[in-house]
Amino acid sequence: MTEVARKRVGVLISGRGSNLQALLDACADGAFPAEIALVISDQAAAPGLERAARARVPSQVIARRDHPDKAAHDDAHDDAMTAALEAAGVELVCLAGFMRLLSEAFVDHWRDRLINIHPSLLPLFPGLDTHHRALAAGVKLHGCTVHFVRFEMDSGPIVGQAAVPVLPGDDAAALGARVLTAEHQLYPHCLRLVAEGRVEIRGEIAEIPGIDPAARLVNPAP
């Protein structure tokens, strides 16, 4: 059997970690082109840390200093994360429900090696409360996006998207659950494409030369 060169991935979380779980499950297959080398949480109580432990993946809590402005950047914190990721030999970083804005230095250091999953079809609905906002806007398709991270929140070249229908009677919880199921499919799929080195960024557009266009979309059943 040929050995696959597996990219070493760091995953940053703040909470539940269901997307982390989807990535751990994908990486549990030795043929997957990535392995999770380190999980970092900024919250000591994040349930996602138990998921890392169960998968026998090293984790670290790197807590942010208390800051009255929750949206403020914390450069020292993010430098500490870069140091830990580098020490673990990480080559690619996945944000999976990491609920803080990252410093410019962090985003620059990991440029084109840092991806995020966001629960909307970007560029629609960047930021929080995406499911409420999708319902309020009356969109008929909603979904999630995996994208390379740029300094401006929820922006950057799009690797892939998954769409789900908005159904009559949906509330934010029902719609969010449908999107989350799609997230768990989309994130490992996109990580595979990035880890295989198939994604090229040209003029801030992520291109995947030679790919069947259908393979970068996860579409809803009618």
Contacts to ligand GRF by CB under 6 A: 15-19, 48, 96-97, 117-119, 144, 180, 183
CB atoms within 10 A of CB 97: 21
Q: How far is the CB of 211 from ligand GRF (least distance, A)?
A: 23
Closer to ligand GRF by CB, 118 or 189: give it: 118
Length of the chain: 222
Q: How far is the CB of 144 from ligand GRF (least distance, A)?
A: 6
> Closest CB to ligand GRF belongs to which residue?
97
Q: How far is the CB of 5 from ligand GRF (least distance, A)?
A: 27
Closer to ligand GRF by CB, 97 or 188: give it: 97
Closer to ligand GRF by CB, 144 or 158: give it: 144
* Residue 118 annotated among the catalytic residues of the structure: yes
> Residue 20 is encoded by which pair of tokens?
């982390």
Nearest to 156 by CA among 170, 142, 146: 146
DSSP state of 80: H
CB 35 within 8 A of CB 47: no
Catalytic residue of the set 118, 131, 147, 189: 118
How many Å apart are CA 26 and CA 176, to the nearest integer? 22
CA dihedral 48, 53, 57, 58 (to 10 degrees): 90
Closer to ligand GRF by CB, 96 or 175: give it: 96
How many Å apart are CA 184 and CA 199, to the nearest integer? 20
Q: How far is the CB of 130 from ligand GRF (least distance, A)?
A: 8
Residues near 158 by Cβ (< 8 Å), separated by ≥ 6?
122, 145, 146, 147, 206
What residues are annotated to the active site?
Answer: 118
